[in-house]
Amino acid sequence: MLTTIEAYLTLRRATGFAMSNAEYLLKSFAAFAAGRGQTHVQTQTAIDWATLGPSVAQRDARLKAVCRFVRHVRVDDSRHELPPANHFGARKRRRPPHIYSAQEIDHLIEVALRLRPKGGLRPLTYATLLALLSATGLRISEALKLTVADVTGDGLLIRETKFRKTRLVPLHDTAAAGLQRYLARRQPRSDDDPIFIGKCGGPLRYIAVKETFDRLVSKAGIVMATRRRPRLHDLRHTFAVRALQGSPAGRSRSGAHMAALSTYMGHVNIYATYWYLEATADLMRDVAAAGEGFIYDGRRS
């Protein structure tokens, strides 16, 4: 079974998927099946192996990894059994995002500029990073991987991202000017230098950014209604929601706007973009109002 798994992983990676977690799970399952003397997937064995997961969500993820593999290999070998994907009945729940107001973002940047050492590069680094994330909706991983060479006259070149896609992200004139001011102070030595650097001069690490961001949020006094701490990734949610709120009126134009936003943000498909619509109460109210008008008054929006 291992040979078949390797071929499956190679094919999926060639289409842009990392497959690191899938590789671990499938090889674990193959070893479990081999222990029972099996060379093909059997439903009960897959369920028994998936049950070893410590939570319902993890059991569900384990079984679905096997199901995706089986759907692929059954085309050539029907001896593999396809387990019921929803056997564990798990439902994915996404944590509601915090949508930052313009005032909250301004306050975060102001607090970042007061970081220590006073007059050093660190305060400007974090203020510029937060401003860039807010203005572009970049993933934090994408921002931290940026090099000087990625800053072009047409925007930011985002290379080999989450789904191994490369895209160009245009910058507003004010965002481009702010980034150039930071680089002038930063004084990189070569085009290969990272834009954002840490205390020791190396690339800024995610764990350092997260810890600093959490402190900035506390100092800025920003809290969610649920009393949970707003996340760094919520800046990306905020950008997407604001972009959708500015969507042109009219169903066809809104659809084109959604497709353009999906491409801009580097989503592998548009369903990921729809999450930003579903996660925001005021946008859902707009959808509900349009649906109600269509049903009761025959209006189309």
pLDDT in tens, 163-208: 667 889 999 999 999 999 999 999 999 999 999 999 888 999 999 9
The confidence score (pLDDT) of residue 232 equals: 95
At residue 297, the pLDDT reads: 59
Cα 46 vs. chain centroid, distance in angstroms?
29
Q: Tell me which residue has tokens 């764990």.
A: 207
Q: What CATH homologous superfamily does 102-220 map to?
A: Intergrase catalytic core (1.10.443.10)
Give this prediction's pTM. Answer: 0.70
Instruction: Output the CA–CA distances (angstroms, integers) from residue 54 to 46, 51, 58, 61, in the order listed.
Output: 15, 8, 7, 11
The SS3 assignment for 225 reads coil
Token code pair at residue 163: 């789904």
Residue 301: its pLDDT value, please?
Answer: 44
- The residues spanned by each domain of the chain are 2-73, 102-220, 234-297
Catalytically annotated residues: 139, 162, 233, 236, 267, 276
pLDDT of residue 269: 64
| Separation CA 115–CA 146 (nearest Å) | 23
Phi/psi at 156 (5° precision): -95, 130
Write out pLDDT tens, residues 257-290.
667 777 778 776 656 666 666 555 555 555 555 5
**Do the beta carbons of residue 300 and residue 251 sit within 8 Å?**
yes
Cβ-contact 166, 159 below 8 angstroms: yes
Q: Is 194 helix (H, G, I), strand (E, B) or coil?
A: strand
Supply the pLDDT for residue 164.
65
Instruction: State phi, psi for 148 to the nearest 5 degrees.
Output: -60, -35
Q: What are phi and psi of 197, to 5 degrees?
A: -120, 155
What is the C-alpha to C-alpha distance for residues 245 and 254, in angstroms, rounded to an integer? 10
CA distances from 205 to 6, 126, 154, 186, 211 (A): 32, 12, 27, 17, 10
For the chain, how big is the Rg over CA atoms in Å? 23
Identity of the amino acid at 22: A
Helix (H, G, I), strand (E, B) or coil at 168: strand
Low-confidence ranges of the chain (pLDDT < 50): 251, 294, 299-301
Q: Which residues does residue 151 pair with via DSSP β-bridges, in sequence order?
A: 156
Query: Cβ contacts of residue 219 below 8 Å, gap of 6+?
Result: 111
Cis peptide before 117 (omega within 30 of 0): yes
Q: Could you tell me if 4 and 40 are in contact, meaning their C-beta atoms sit under 8 angstroms apart?
A: no
Phi-psi region of 153 (alpha: psi -120 to 50; beta: other; left: phi over 0): alpha
